[in-house]
A and B are shown apart, each in its own frame.
Chain A
Amino acid sequence: MRPVSYNILPKKLESDISVVNMPDGYQGEGFFAAKLSDVVGLARKNSIWPLPFATSCCGIEFMATMASHYDLARFGAERVGFSPRQCDLLMVMGTIAKKMGPVVKQVYLQMAEPRWVLAVGACASSGGIFDTYSVLQGIDQVVPVDVYVPGCPPRPEAIIDGFMRIQDLVGNESIRRRNSDEYKALLGSYGIM
């Protein structure tokens, strides 16, 4: 018999409804004062709309991540959008051929700010095993990437871990970051104005 080493002990449900913790702030009767960036970050990080750009086996792992067993919806990403104009997070999963590079870039350009990019798997991160003339050696050659998930393909846990790191970035991001000179220089280096 195959030994099962995880999820074998019943775990007590801590609460029927899970609610995120309140940000730091001052509270009194009928008011609550906090930093706007904290509140905005809290709202954003718990309602990320991912746009899956799945081209190969990492996409299959992503399907498992979205499905009931791993359930990415627990992280507020219930709504997977298939229009870049509505989405916050571009999840690139799989090998991107050089010919597809402009497509990835156009999808990125169609997303509204603020936008984040998650490169899932070795191929999207670096070209992976496809060290060849036809394959883009990492999508960071065409779009800026926030988080890289290693693995070939990564397990759903790894994708969730990458997603949670995106959540950290989203939650802690300064409201003015997208107006900063560094950010403009970064986009400028990709030829995006």
Chain B
Amino acid sequence: MGLTTDHIKSRLTEKFGEQITSMEESYGMLSIEAPKEINLKVLNFLHDEADLGFRFLTDLTGVHYPDRTGEELAVVYHLHNLVENVRIRFRVYTSIDQPDVFTATGLFSSANWMERETYDFFGICFVGHPNLKRILNVDEMDYFPLRKEYPLEDQTRRDKDDDMFGR
């Protein structure tokens, strides 16, 4: 038997109905999207239901889509059902002006550092996080380096000569 994508889809539709804004399968892996307000409800549902059982948070990261006005930043959760060996991708979007998303640390302890990393690089504020501060970059940094807000390197610059710097 095993846990099928169709079953996950029908369980989610049954519980959340229209609130799940997108469900698509790419390369055999289900991707779902929902409004950021219910991200914890969806995660809790996927985690707690006995027949779904997504109890492992593989990864949590952010993406910046500068062209999607009003929902520039995405938070991506990769969940894993270790018993059935099924993975699922869950995404919520938030505006860059108020990048507040509820924290998943209550559900997954591993989310603690991953949310700090996402905050560090994308500036997404995880509401309710116990220790939301930079984790990899220097504390004094006053920008979020992986946002697509910075111009590419000036190709005419002369201060770094390719011949001398091995690039």
- A residues sitting closer than 8 Å to B (CB atoms) are 98-99, 122, 126, 128-129, 131, 133-134, 150, 152
B1 located at the interface, meaning its Cβ lies under 8 Å from any Cβ of chain A in the complex: no
Q: How many A-B residue pairs have CB under 8 A?
A: 27
Q: A98-B138, A99-B137, A134-B137 are in contact. Are A152 and B166 (CB under 8 A)?
A: yes
Residues of B within 8 A of A152 (CB): 165-166
Query: In the assembly, what is the distance between CA of A129 and CA of B163, in Å?
Result: 11
Q: Which 5 A-B pairs rank lowest in CB-CB distance, beginning with the nearest?
A: A152-B166, A133-B145, A129-B167, A98-B138, A99-B138
Could you jot down 6 A-B contacts, CB within 8 Å?
Answer: A98-B137, A98-B138, A99-B138, A128-B166, A131-B153, A131-B160
- What residues of A have a CB within 8 angstroms of the CB of B153 in the complex? 131
- A131–B165 alpha-carbon span in the complex (Å): 10
Q: How far is the CB of B52 from chain A (nearest CB, A)?
A: 38
Report whether B145 and A129 are in contact in the complex, using a CB–CB cutoff of 8 Å: no
Closest-CB distance, B148 to chain A (whole angstroms):
13
Question: B-side interface residues toward A, CB under 8 Å?
Answer: 136-138, 141, 143, 145, 153, 160, 164-167
Contact between B160 and A126, CB atoms less than 8 A apart: yes
Complex CA gap A126/B164 in Å reads 11
Chain A residue with minimal CB distance to B162? A129
A128 and B165 contacting across the interface, CB-CB below 8 Å: yes
